[in-house]
Amino acid sequence: MTRREVESVEDRIREHLRRDDLDSAVELLRALSPGDALELLDRSEPRMVPVLFRLLDKSTAVHVFAAMETGQQSDLVRQLQDGQVQDLFAELRVSGQARLLDEMPATVARKMLAGLDAEARGEVGRLLGYPADSVGRRLRMAPVRLREDWTVAVALQNLRDHGGREQAAIVSVPVVSPQARLTGVVDVSVLVTQPLDARVSEIMREPVSAVATEDAEEVARLCADRRLWTVPVTDSEGRLIGVFTVADALEVLDEESTEDAARAGGVEPLGRPYLATSVLALMRSRITWLLVLAIGATLTVQVLGVFEDTLEEMVVLSLFIPLIIGTGGNTGNQAATTVTRALALDDVRPRDAPRVMFRELRVGMALGGCIGLLGLVIAGLVFSWPVGLVIGATLFTVCSFAATVGGLMPLAARTIGADPAVFSNPFISTLVDALGLVVYFFIAQAVLGI
Amino acid sequence: MTRREVESVEDRIREHLRRDDLDSAVELLRALSPGDALELLDRSEPRMVPVLFRLLDKSTAVHVFAAMETGQQSDLVRQLQDGQVQDLFAELRVSGQARLLDEMPATVARKMLAGLDAEARGEVGRLLGYPADSVGRRLRMAPVRLREDWTVAVALQNLRDHGGREQAAIVSVPVVSPQARLTGVVDVSVLVTQPLDARVSEIMREPVSAVATEDAEEVARLCADRRLWTVPVTDSEGRLIGVFTVADALEVLDEESTEDAARAGGVEPLGRPYLATSVLALMRSRITWLLVLAIGATLTVQVLGVFEDTLEEMVVLSLFIPLIIGTGGNTGNQAATTVTRALALDDVRPRDAPRVMFRELRVGMALGGCIGLLGLVIAGLVFSWPVGLVIGATLFTVCSFAATVGGLMPLAARTIGADPAVFSNPFISTLVDALGLVVYFFIAQAVLGI
């Protein structure tokens, strides 16, 4: 179905539900593919989600549930019956089960686990043993594996015999020693294009692997940068545990981008689609940062209070307050944005701090030179040349300072183990705003002699 | 090599180059893998990049060049000799060639094309015929294909015979009719795990395909959301042209995230690693937005000019200017950030504008209620209750307004075909700042009777 068709079905289902015509709604809903059904749920009001979900047929429901974001799954679990939850939970991939369990209160988690057999419970338990953001949590377990001394023909036969279970992950296949130690990797694309009598040892490549406790984002970045189909994951002794595929990498990096974008804008990530998030949850995702920033901004009230006499004497100075702190904030944000993304891409590291500082100082002076000159001329023409000089000199100083601080903040955050996007924003605005105003009034007092 | 080892090699190479000890530098450099060599170049000052690149051995140079971002490639091309450029260019994938040609002036592009044979030139030409951001530009051309009536054994034999060329893309294989029309897709993981005598028609699935002129980002999002290994790409008549893989999707979405993150922070994307970007280029990526925002901010100077008499009478009002416009800007940004990301993820569309407006108005009023109450109490205690009332009422109004505007701006941008991240930022800050001040002074005049 095209997007437009899905949208029209969406409108019609809503209309049927409004009129309590359940049968017609069910009929339309059951004609949707799982992908289209998920799209419909993603774009429904929070209170409608469980209603619509209950109307799905069972196999679609399983697919839709598996493809939901974890936050959305946990919202839904709270509104379904235990038996249904157990069925849905049992159908998730092990890594999905581990993530959902992490979100649930212990009592609910226990109920969900009760629906699994002992082996499956053991697997989830093993994944939950790895740190929360580690690649171990994202594993596809027990992948098929090859031996070095096999021929291509034997390897293919083996995949046919044993490849069923984690089929989706068969895209590059790990090669292991008799002690289950990882010795190489064969891409399936190579396996199916090489002569049947070639040895696995001749066609395999050096594995680029990860240890299960490593950070998932770093492994995903490795996977993306080296363009690998899968990264085999081992325990600390080099024994193969599972694989992490490029599809998993895409998921991890997408989540990270969403989080970074959110935090750069001063919002906590929602963990669920926007329209399916309640107004209360939207408010909760923003209130903390808004309060932190507002409390930081009371510093500017205090700074201005100190210079109240100067302001009283020359009210014209107050006209430029928004322009000056705005320009400082923008310059600082620009630098922080560039360096934060460079950090995420591993293009820059904390040890580069001196180089970053020197570059940002030069960029800030260049930017401040342009903006300051403009400010000098305009304020000079409209008001007076002394005022123009104050504005120009302030803009130059504030830009140079803001770019330097903005460039260094993300590195400082990374060094102390904080999230660069979260940490930079409030510090830059508070520091740059308050210090910018101090600079402004000192320059004004010096130039205007007040 | 571990990251630390690469970093130490990096330091030693720089040291050798500083002492003009070229031989030792080359020795160290040639011991690096292509991946490590690229990392070294990514983190080198712009003027060092061509120096280091020329010291690489030829096969590493080819790999490193192919893995560079397009902006970096084009910087390098300008500093190498024609012959060397032709060799490097010829080794790129067709889609990489098309992207690089787009960045180069016509004379250089002609020289680069001169190094290709007629067939390869034809392929690049064909890709360049698709729109700039289309999935056609990202194609892997001429993939191996299967026929419905083949058995698995025949299909595998066929891959062995003809799969060599675009081997990296063999992960799901398109099935075509005798007229080359796409009829299905078989994942290689299925192909290698099914009985040899099964028919392709029995094991293939419905293809989720794209037309070459479709937007690359949308196809990448489809690939990610549906967890597909590849999306076959056809012409407008449904004939198979090539495939777009999950690895390509990852690349496209990564680029988009980088662009969105940059633009949300008021910066043009660099197209090359941060440390390898010149200070001039960094400045150029920021100056336009900084000027636009500064010129927008002159509106606040004018608004304040209108209320200069009020300010003159009550200087205390000027103390809260940064707090009020800061809070308004933050609230607007939060809403814009959330909706922009939701748009990028296709969780929200322009037709949802009424729902978004209503939600954001409620969120804004809730946030404004909290912050306003706090402002009322603090300003009331520190200054006076009438001042507290002005601050509280202003914060409430500004937050409600800012969230609504912030939520709607990205949708408005998308509707008129502009980039939501670029468009929202300056409009929100200018509009919210200026109108926030107008609201502030009107409320002050009403409450304080001035």
pLDDT > 70? residue A179:
yes
Task: Provide DSSP, A98-109.
Answer: HHHHHHS-HHHH
Do residues B284 and B321 share a domain? yes
Measured CA to CA, the distance from residue B324 to residue B392 in angstroms comes to 10
Contact indicator for B188, A192 with CB cutoff of 8 Å: yes
Contact indicator for B439, B394 with CB cutoff of 8 Å: yes
DSSP 8-state symbol, A32: S
Closest CA to B379 of B366, B393, B365: B393
Q: Report B:293-352 residues touching A (Cβ under 8 A).
A: 293-294, 297-298, 300-301, 304-305, 308, 311-312, 315-316, 318-323, 325-327, 330-331, 333-334, 336-342, 345, 347-348, 351-352
Measured CA to CA, the distance from residue A417 to residue A178 in angstroms comes to 40
Does A286 map to a domain? yes
Do residues A214 and A113 share a domain? no
CATH number at residue B418: 1.10.357.20
Q: Which tokens is A133 given?
A: 């953001």
Measured CA to CA, the distance from residue B113 to residue B143 in angstroms comes to 23
Q: Mind telling me how many Å the CA of B179 is from chain A's nearest CA?
A: 24
- In one letter, which amino acid is B312? E
Do residues A26 and A112 share a domain? yes
| 3-class state of residue B142 by DSSP | coil
Distances (CA, A) of A335 to A339, A401, B22, B309: 6, 11, 35, 38
Chain-centre distance of CA B242, in angstroms?
Answer: 24
pLDDT of A122: 87
Only one residue has tokens 């336009």, namely B288
pLDDT > 70? residue B168:
no
pLDDT digits (tens, 9 = 90+) for B325-346: 999 989 998 999 899 989 888 8
Measured CA to CA, the distance from residue A77 to residue A188 in angstroms comes to 38
Q: Mind telling me how many Å the CA of B238 is from chain A's nearest CA?
A: 16
Give Rg (Cα) of chain B.
29
pLDDT of A168: 62
Closest CA to A275 of A65, A45, A52: A45
Given A134, A154, A175, the domain boundary residue is A134
Predicted complex ipTM: 0.84
Contact indicator for B324, B398 with CB cutoff of 8 Å: yes
Does B303 map to a domain? yes
Q: Which of A246-255, A421-430, B4-13 has the highest mean pLDDT?
A: A246-255
Contact indicator for B192, A163 with CB cutoff of 8 Å: yes
Contact indicator for A410, A310 with CB cutoff of 8 Å: no
Distinct helix (H) and strand (E) counts, chain A:
21, 6
Q: Which tokens is B181 given?
A: 């029309």
Do residues B289 and B334 share a domain? yes
CATH number at residue B232: 3.10.580.10
Contact indicator for B405, B431 with CB cutoff of 8 Å: yes
Q: B172, B186, B347, B411: best mutation site toward chain A, by most A Cβ within 10 Å?
A: B347
| 3-class state of residue A199 by DSSP | strand
Contact indicator for B60, B34 with CB cutoff of 8 Å: yes
pLDDT > 90? residue A359:
yes
Report the half-sphere exposure of A295 (CA within 13 A, side-chain side).
Answer: 7
Does B263 map to a domain? no
pLDDT of A397: 97
Q: Mind telling me how many Å the CA of A39 is from chain B's nearest CA?
A: 8
pLDDT of B165: 56
- Say yes or no: B28 contacts chain A, CB-CB below 8 A: no
Does B257 map to a domain? no
Measured CA to CA, the distance from residue A448 to residue B286 in angstroms comes to 32
**Does the beta-carbon distance from B345 to A273 stay under 8 Å?**
yes
Q: Report B:211-270 residues touching A (Cβ under 8 A).
A: 224-227, 229, 246-247, 249-251, 253-254, 257-258, 260-262, 264-267, 270
Do residues B194 and B238 share a domain? yes
Contact indicator for B246, B334 with CB cutoff of 8 Å: no
CATH number at residue A74: 1.25.60
Measured CA to CA, the distance from residue B299 to residue A379 in angstroms comes to 13
| Helix ranges (DSSP H) in B104-237 | 106-114, 118-128, 152-162, 188-191, 200-203, 216-225
Does A443 map to a domain? yes
Q: Which residues pair with A182 in a beta bridge?
A: A176
pLDDT of A167: 63
Number of residues that this document lists for chain A = 450
Helices A22-30 and A3-18 cross at an angle (nearest 10°) of 160
pLDDT of B439: 95
pLDDT of B135: 93
Do residues B380 and B292 share a domain? yes
Do residues B144 and B121 share a domain? no
pLDDT of A256: 87
pLDDT of A164: 63
pLDDT of A142: 65
Contact indicator for A146, A200 with CB cutoff of 8 Å: yes
pLDDT > 90? residue A102:
no
Only one residue has tokens 């839709």, namely A64
Q: What's the total number of domains in chain B?
A: 3
pLDDT digits (tens, 9 = 90+) for A375-408: 999 999 999 999 999 999 999 999 999 999 999 9
Where does the pLDDT of residue A165 fall: very low under 50, low under 70, confident under 90, or very high at 90 and above? low
**Does the beta-carbon distance from B192 to A189 stay under 8 Å?**
no
Provide mean pLDDT across the span B167-177: 81
Largest interatomic CA distance in chain B: 92
Where does the pLDDT of residue B1 fall: very low under 50, low under 70, confident under 90, or very high at 90 and above? low
Provide mean pLDDT across the span B296-322: 91
Task: Provide DSSP, B219-264.
Answer: HHHHHHHTT-SEEEEE-TTSBEEEEEEHHHHHHHHHHHHHHHHHHH
Does B126 map to a domain? yes
Higher per-residue confidence, A170 vs A440: A440
Where does the pLDDT of residue B142 fall: very low under 50, low under 70, confident under 90, or very high at 90 and above? low
Do residues A409 and A425 share a domain? yes
**Does the beta-carbon distance from B43 to A348 stay under 8 Å?**
yes
Does B55 map to a domain? yes
Does A148 map to a domain? yes
Given B74, B109, B134, the domain boundary residue is B134
Q: Which residues pair with B134 in a beta bridge?
A: B215
* CA angle in degrees (0–180, nearest 5) for B71-B76-B79: 140
**Does the beta-carbon distance from B250 to A156 stay under 8 Å?**
no
Tell me the pTM.
Answer: 0.84
Measured CA to CA, the distance from residue B250 to residue B231 in angstroms comes to 13
- Strand B210-211, strand B182-187: pairing: unpaired
- Say yes or no: B118 contacts chain A, CB-CB below 8 A: no
Provide mean pLDDT across the span A301-318: 91
**What order of strands is seen across the sheet that includes strand B140-141?**
B140-141, B240-245, B230-234, B210-211
Q: Mind telling me how many Å the CA of B155 is from chain A's nearest CA?
A: 10
Distinct helix (H) and strand (E) counts, chain B:
22, 6
- Say yes or no: B4 contacts chain A, CB-CB below 8 A: no
Least confident window among A8-22, A406-420, A435-449: A8-22
pLDDT of A324: 94
Give Rg (Cα) of chain A.
29
- The boundaries of the domain holding residue A328 are 279-448
Do residues B411 and B289 share a domain? yes
Do residues B288 and B408 share a domain? yes
Given B134, B154, B181, the domain boundary residue is B134
pLDDT digits (tens, 9 = 90+) for B186-200: 988 888 888 889 999
- Say yes or no: A430 contacts chain B, CB-CB below 8 A: no
Do residues B339 and B288 share a domain? yes
pLDDT digits (tens, 9 = 90+) for B373-395: 999 999 999 999 999 999 999 99
**3-state SS record for B321-364:** HHHHHHHHHHHHHHHHHHHHHHHHCCCCCHHHHHHHHHHHHHHH
Measured CA to CA, the distance from residue A334 to residue B268 in angstroms comes to 9
Closest CA to B408 of B345, B325, B351: B351
Chain-centre distance of CA A360, in angstroms?
Answer: 26
pLDDT digits (tens, 9 = 90+) for A137-150: 988 876 788 999 99
pLDDT of B45: 84
pLDDT digits (tens, 9 = 90+) for B272-306: 899 989 999 999 999 988 898 888 888 999 999 99
Closest CA to B171 of A152, A203, A171: A171
Do residues A128 and A148 share a domain? no
| 3-class state of residue B68 by DSSP | coil
Chain A residues with beta carbon closer than 8 angstroms to that of B224: 250-251, 254
